[in-house]
Chain A
Amino acid sequence: MIYLDHNASTPVRPEVADAMNTALRDLGANPSSAHREGQRVRAALERAREQVARFVHADASEVIFVSGGTEGDHLALMGAAWAQRERGMRVAYAAIEHHAVHGAADVLHELGWSHAELPCEPTGITLPAAIDALPQGTTVVSLMLANNETGVLQPVAALTERAHARGMLVHCDAVQAAGKVPVDFAALGVDFLVLSGHKFGGPKGAAALIARKGAPLSPLMRGSGHERGRRGGTENVAGIVGLGLAAELAGVSLAAESTRLLALRERFERGLRLVSPDAHVHGERSPRLPNTVNASFPGARSDSLLMALDARGVMVSAGAACASGAVEPSPVLRAMAVPHELAISALRFSFGRETTQAQLDEALAIIAEALQVARRVTAAGAPA
């Protein structure tokens, strides 16, 4: 089995699994309890908070633990919009944002907010000038750091500068970037930033929203003052312990790992072109994550390719999956003005810690075979 779907989720590091196992066994009390056992659990939580803060160059007091990227995006966008509702009821986000941001904007829309989309260039990049076109009364703009499908990195610092000049707060979805490229909360200048453990060796279900000190934020879930009153609910202690350790380990290996992944990516892209000279790599000339390749193979539909690859032991993703699990053309590629025929034949390959050159070479041979089969099936199945 060759797993090339690390952007969807990457395996938990063994050290992280051990730490979580220990936490599950040993940290039985509630971190909010005043007694010594509670304090012991609380200490583990705060250690993780510091690990996460160091990982993204933030202050520990700015770290809010949440259940995942989706919750982090909802809390940032909705919480900041709600806190500023007297200033205006408009939000904005890049067209290529993750479903989680679109979902939060949908909820705001139902509550009376209007929203605007920042267009994306065919390069996959959202240009800072797009900020200038946003209507007055926009209070929050959501901008991802690295696109989950193409890996294209966004000029978030420049976008943020323009947004701040117009009095807007900026939320940055860094879920896909964290652990693959350096993420510096302070240098980006954003007001909110979200990262998720299972994208860099931590567990699913543990994530963090970084909220700049003093940034207006209304909590969505209110309880008894957890997370400084910003997110109610007893903390997922074992998950958070895992998240913290994963952040620390990812920070340590980041430089070497991203160099290694970039070399793999370049070799893999050359290989793809040999296998399929008409392959089209999306965002090819843009700065991208070192582990992500999104390519279209004309004449071979994504779902056929996925099935052929899966049967041959290569695990990849295609576009976005709908509620049923079926593959749909990606809204990200549509926003990049990728023609429909190419959009329905796109695959995302994403590498991780365990990916080796030998694996990728083997994968390329399998891709060559799968392409032949998928092209035959696609041609035979074309509707009248």
Chain B
Amino acid sequence: MRVLAAMSGGVDSAVAAALLAEQGHEVHGVTLRLACYGKTPMSPKACCTLDAIDDARRVATAMNFPYQVVDAEDVFKHRVMMPFVDGYASGRTPYPCALCNQHLKFGDLVTRMELIGADRLATGHYAQVHEAADGTLGLFRAVSHEKDQTYALALVPYAALARVTLPLGALTKPEVRAHGERLGLSCWDKVESQDLCFVPDGDYAGYIQNTLGDSRGSTPGDFVNTLGERIGTHRGIVHYTVGQRRGLALTAAARLYVLDIDAAGNTVTVGPREALEESGLVTQRMNWLMSAPPAEGTRVLARIRYNHAGAMATLSHTDDGAVIARFDVPQVAVAPGQLAVFYDDDRCLGGAAIASSLRDRASAPVRAAAGLPALA
């Protein structure tokens, strides 16, 4: 088959493309240029830098398939960067990798498949696409649960699954590196990228302010406790995430965590860890990776951030295509903007950004402190 292989310059996508080429498929490599690199190359750890492009091109040369760099700056800016900045500025904790997968790799590139008449799009994601028991296609966790990336793929359009191939789904990272070495790919032992590719040093707030010149959310404001009392000054809401403990610079008898971020009032509510516990969450409109949404009351494993092992929950649908997920056991740090991704065993059923926790986070401890009964 003819394959359009998305190549970031990292070892995973390189091995994915190279394995397909080795199997005799007609591979065309492509790297999306997401930002103008100009004369200031980014960190060597980040993907999509000039060095990364050289690495990807070298793989294409070694495996003897054509390779191109295509400009996707506009799509990246409008579909990933701007939502990222808007999210932080409005007190959420966005997850741009999911948007990049949705709009760039499994959006823009899927669209471009037609240019070369490709049968499949290949990426280096650790995940599997195959038929479920009912005969329909589904997205499944990678054999290597440790590397599984289905959380980051939960917003991918369901229709795209039929057009992709994920050669690494059944491999472990050491196996992938071994293939890279065996095939003589120079990037086989490259350092793994961990941070956001466009913020390689992990300083999101600094990036938003310095690089994008966006000052929203960077005005200092009040830290308040669960009773609404002012207990300090925060540096601007973009510096905080629900569940965060470090870097608050507050002195208190007990450890304090960020419980809530109110962009309109420019306040950050902090409190004890117990107050972080939530009985459930409400999502934004769901992206289902199945032919029809699951039945009301479906029992799922819910993951609420990338490294979250998951918690059992029961789903109920809302009128606007979102779901309410009620945890069996309360979970800490339900951060709006992060994804809630639901699983039936190894199958990823779908996901959406978290709109809010199920209850109004600030009011619950307040009511408890006031001796009022908790809301239903």
Contacts and interface: CB of A to CB of B under 8 A. Distances in A.
Interface stretch (A147-155, A203-211, A317-325): A317-325
Question: Which of B28, B37, B111, B115 is packed against the most chain A CB atoms within 10 Å?
Answer: B115
B74 A383 contact: yes
Given A303-B70, A383-B74, A373 B115 contact: yes
Interface in A314-372: 322-328, 370
Interface in B35-81: 36-38, 50, 53, 57, 66, 68-71, 74-75, 77-79
Interface residues of A, number: 23
Interface of B: 28, 30-31, 33, 36-38, 50, 53, 57, 66, 68-71, 74-75, 77-79, 108, 111-112, 114-117
A374 B115 contact: yes
Given A326-B33, A326-B71, A377 B78 contact: no
Nearest to B52: A324
B66 A310 contact: yes
Contacts of A381: 75, 108, 111-112
A325 B68 CA distance: 8
Interface of A: 303-304, 306-308, 310-311, 322-328, 370, 373-374, 376-377, 380-381, 383-384
Given A325-B57, A370-B115, A377-B112, 6 more contacts: A307-B115, A326-B69, A327-B70, A380-B111, A383-B79, A384-B79
A303 B71 contact: yes
Nearest to A303: B70
Contacts of B75: 381, 383
Contact of A307 (B38, B50, B57, B68): B68
Contacts of A370: 115
A324 B50 contact: yes
Contacts of B108: 381
Contacts, number: 65
Contacts of A384: 78-79
30 contacts: A307-B30, A307-B68, A307-B112, A310-B66, A311-B28, A311-B115, A311-B116, A311-B117, A322-B36, A322-B37, A323-B38, A324-B50, A324-B69, A325-B53, A325-B57, A326-B71, A327-B70, A370-B115, A377-B111, A377-B112, A377-B114, A377-B115, A380-B111, A381-B108, A381-B111, A383-B74, A383-B78, A383-B79, A384-B78, A384-B79
A320 to B, nearest CB: 12
B78 A308 contact: no
A384 to B, nearest CB: 5
Given A303-B70, A310-B66, A310-B68, A323 B37 contact: yes
Contacts of B28: 311
B118 to A, nearest CB: 9
Nearest to B41: A323
A22 to B, nearest CB: 30
Contacts of A303: 70-71
Nearest to A305: B115
Contact of B112 (A304, A322, A327, A383): A304
A374 B79 CA distance: 21
A304 B71 contact: no
B226 to A, nearest CB: 39
Nearest to A384: B78
Contacts of A308: 115-116
A229 B68 CA distance: 43
B68 A324 contact: no
A66 B183 CA distance: 40
Nearest to B75: A383
Nearest to A306: B68
Contact of B115 (A304, A324, A325, A326): A304
B67 to A, nearest CB: 9
B121 to A, nearest CB: 13
B33 A324 contact: yes
Contacts of B79: 383-384
Contacts of A304: 112, 115
A327 B77 CA distance: 17
Contacts of A327: 70-71
Contacts of B77: 383
A368 to B, nearest CB: 15
B78 A373 contact: no
A325 B71 CA distance: 9
Contact of B70 (A307, A373, A376): A307
A384 B79 CA distance: 8
